[in-house]
């Protein structure tokens, strides 16, 4: 693989979203050239993405293209117009529960959109293609912690299936073309700019507004919540590592039970949550738990933010955003 040259641009798909905007922050701070491709869809209020993007617009190193990853003409054009060295593919239809309601859209965007990007990337011989997968590929894996070498043929949501299909496409394109590819299985990312429908964000907003929250199941389901700064650090480390084809878990490796998460939020907001219990939705897994030994060994990945501190930082951010911009997230 040729060394990455500083005059090359980094393509970040979904670069106005939660994870993508933080990644763009990092690259622009490092004086890297960034091309952001985002369709600014209405899965949640598009003004949230515009707010995420606002600091980037003043940088001469930032190019924004509003478009769909499924549109090969747009994707091909941006590759021809910019010297793309790396692709960080974050754009996707996200969320387990909505995927159950609209599986066709999830498969179309997450699989066919990924195929378009891979097809164009191999024609332009990019240095590294990074695909954001998900812990959802593990389904209800009974073996814990979840290892990259575990069997992953038991997804329980269309979202999880679409991410596994994306991984398989990546593996196939690497085999056929030699394109260097890394697939990152991200474990429940949280922190400032988190999507408004995700549990931590939803619970914090509801509790601060004096509203009750709904807890699904018996409160004992668990998630390996991973703070955004640690995820960004992991992505950067992956992009800088030599690679042919590899799958990595990026998690915190410390699962937190749902009821414990609610109590931590209560402490951080200094309010007592009003809890209503409900049945577990179809498609939700019982737990996630990342084995990060491969990422530690190969990348030097080492998450630094414990859950209590991360939630405190999210609450501080949320209060600041509401004070400055009104409740865009309502």
CATH for 171: 3.40.50.720
What pLDDT sits at residue 6?
59
Give the number of domains in the chain. 1
d(CA 40, CA 177): 31
Q: Is residue 320 part of a domain?
A: no
> What does residue 37 show for φ and ψ, rounded to 5 degrees?
-115, 120
Residue 211: count other Cβ atoms within 10 Å of its Cβ. 11
d(CA 229, CA 226): 9
> What does residue 39 show for φ and ψ, rounded to 5 degrees?
-90, 0
Q: Domain span at residue 70? A: 9-194+226-252+288-305
**Residues whose CB is less than 8 angstroms from the CB of residue 326 and which lie 6 or more positions away in sequence, other chains included:** none
> Comparing C-alpha atoms, which of 162, 134, 136 is closest to residue 250?
134
Q: Is residue 258 part of a domain?
A: no
Q: Is residue 105 part of a domain?
A: yes
Per-residue pLDDT of the chain (330 residues; tens, 9 = 90+): 444 455 899 999 999 999 999 999 999 999 999 999 999 999 999 999 999 999 999 999 999 999 999 999 999 999 999 999 999 999 999 999 999 999 999 999 999 999 999 999 999 989 999 999 999 999 999 999 999 999 999 999 999 999 999 999 999 999 999 999 999 999 999 999 999 999 999 999 999 999 999 999 999 999 999 999 999 999 999 999 887 899 999 999 999 999 999 999 999 999 999 999 999 888 889 999 999 999 999 999 999 999 999 999 999 999 999 888 877 877
What pLDDT sits at residue 5?
55
Q: Is residue 265 part of a domain?
A: no
What pLDDT sits at residue 12?
98
d(CA 106, CA 330): 24
d(CA 64, CA 48): 16
Q: Is residue 216 part of a domain?
A: no
Tell me if residue 44 is catalytic.
no
CB 34 within 8 A of CB 62: yes
* DSSP characters over 155-184: --SHHHHHHHHHHHHHHHHHHHH---EEEE
Dihedral-angle region of residue 219 (phi above 0 means left; psi in -120 to 50 means alpha; beta otherwise): left
- From the list 44, 138, 159, 248, the catalytic residue is 159
Q: Is residue 327 part of a domain?
A: no
What pLDDT sits at residue 1?
41
Q: Is residue 205 part of a domain?
A: no
CB 56 within 8 A of CB 24: yes
Q: Is residue 141 part of a domain?
A: yes
């Amino acid at each position: 693989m040729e060394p990455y040259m500083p005059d090359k641009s980094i393509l970040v798909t979904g670069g106005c979203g939660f994870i993508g905007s933080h990644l763009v922050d990092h690259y622009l701070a490092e004086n890297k050239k960034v091309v952001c491709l985002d369709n600014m869809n209405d899965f949640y209020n598009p003004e949230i993405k515009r707010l995420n993007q606002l600091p980037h617009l003043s940088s001469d190193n930032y190019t924004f293209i509003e478009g769909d990853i499924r549109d090969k003409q747009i994707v091909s054009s941006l590759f021809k117009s910019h010297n793309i060295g790396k692709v960080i593919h974050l754009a996707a239809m996200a969320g387990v529960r909505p995927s159950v309601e609209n599986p066709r859209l999830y498969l179309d965007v997450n699989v066919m959109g990924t195929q378009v990007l891979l097809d164009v990337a191999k024609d332009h011989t990019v240095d590294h293609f990074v695909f954001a997968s998900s812990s959802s590929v593990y389904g209800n894996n009974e073996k814990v912690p979840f290892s990259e070498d575990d069997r992953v043929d038991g997804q329980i949501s269309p979202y999880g299936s679409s991410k596994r299909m994306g991984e398989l496409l990546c593996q196939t394109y690497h085999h056929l073309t030699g394109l260097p590819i890394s697939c990152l299985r991200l474990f429940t990312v949280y922190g400032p700019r988190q999507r408004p429908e995700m549990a931590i964000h939803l619970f914090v907003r509801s509790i601060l507004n004096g509203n009750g929250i709904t807890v699904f199941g018996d409160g004992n389901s668990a998630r390996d919540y991973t703070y955004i700064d640690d995820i960004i650090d992991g992505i950067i480390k992956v992009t800088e590592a030599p690679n042919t084809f590899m799958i990595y878990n990026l998690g915190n490796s410390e699962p937190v039970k749902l009821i414990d998460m609610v109590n931590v939020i209560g402490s951080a907001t200094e309010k007592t949550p009003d809890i209503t219990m409900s049945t577990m939705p179809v498609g939700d897994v019982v737990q996630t738990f990342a084995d990060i030994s491969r990422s530690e060994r190969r990348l030097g990945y080492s998450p630094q933010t414990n859950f209590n501190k991360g939630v405190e930082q999210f609450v501080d951010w949320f209060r600041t955003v509401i004070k400055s911009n009104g409740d865009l997230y309502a």
